[in-house]
């Protein structure tokens, strides 16, 4: 039993180390593309900027549908190599070579911030690189602050503050 526990602990440590390496690599990749080419990150997809009511509660599937609908006010044409026919289409299989977009919670839905608030509001959404988003989720389970710091570096401290203020203002208790 003790040998099994040690193996499990080593396995968790290995998973953590691999996750940190993936996060570092893909965050660096994402950061470089954002600042150097401006084609991997759509700054025009911050929900807080797309909707008149940032407190509007919305499922991520509806957010994606609206952003892809030319008849909806939040429509944004997708123009990067991660797009499919000009739309933000998510990847069915997530791999480092199949990049696409996820609707990402800027302030993690399962994170410790605003635990009693519903964070499924448009102010808390942005279209993000699916693989980077997935790796951030892994690292957040081990070190939420590191994950949040990485987001601040990419999205900017001002945006993070705007989203936090919106969540505070819009705080609707989770039922």
pLDDT in tens, 138-174: 888 889 999 999 889 888 999 999 999 999 999 866 6
At 131, the pLDDT band (50, 70, 90 cuts) reads: confident
Residue 86 φ/ψ region, left for φ over 0, alpha for ψ in the -120 to 50 degree band, beta for the rest: left
State the DSSP code for 77.
-
Q: What does pTM read for this prediction? A: 0.76
Residue 17 has pLDDT above 90, yes or no: no
State the DSSP code for 44.
G
Contact 123, 172 (CB under 8 A): no
Contact 74, 66 (CB under 8 A): yes
pLDDT at 167: 96
Contact 33, 81 (CB under 8 A): no
- Report percent pLDDT > 90 for the chain: 41
- Over the stretch 53-72, which tens digit does the pLDDT of each residue have? 999 999 999 999 999 999 99
> What is the pLDDT of the chain when averaged over all its residues?
80
Looking at the DSSP bridge assignments, the partners of residue 135 are none
Contact 57, 118 (CB under 8 A): yes
pLDDT at 23: 60
| Helix ranges (DSSP H) in 37-143 | 47-50, 60-68, 130-142
- Report percent pLDDT > 70 for the chain: 70
Residue 34 has pLDDT above 50, yes or no: no
Contact 142, 19 (CB under 8 A): yes
Q: Strands of the chain (E only): list them.
A: 101-105, 125-129
* Cβ-based burial of 168 (10 A; exposed 0-12, middle 13-18, buried ≥19): exposed
State how far the Cα of 74 lies from the Cα of 55, in Å rounded to an integer: 15
């Amino acid at each position: 039993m003790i040998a099994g526990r040690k193996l499990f602990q080593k396995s968790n440590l290995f998973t953590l180390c691999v996750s940190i390496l993936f996060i570092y690599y893909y965050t660096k990749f994402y950061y470089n593309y954002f600042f150097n080419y401006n084609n991997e990150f759509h700054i025009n997809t911050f929900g807080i900027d797309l909707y008149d009511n940032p407190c509007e509660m919305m499922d991520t599937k509806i957010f994606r549908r609206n952003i892809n609908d030319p008849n909806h006010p939040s429509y944004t044409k997708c123009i990067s190599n991660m797009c499919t026919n000009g739309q933000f289409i998510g990847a069915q299989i997530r791999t480092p070579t199949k990049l696409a977009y996820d609707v990402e919670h800027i302030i993690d839905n399962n994170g410790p911030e605003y635990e009693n608030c519903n964070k499924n509001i448009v102010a808390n959404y942005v279209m993000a690189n699916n693989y980077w988003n997935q790796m951030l989720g892994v690292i957040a389970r081990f070190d939420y602050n590191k994950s949040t710091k990485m987001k601040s570096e990419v999205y900017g401290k001002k945006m993070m503050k705007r989203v936090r203020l919106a969540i505070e203002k819009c705080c609707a208790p989770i039922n």
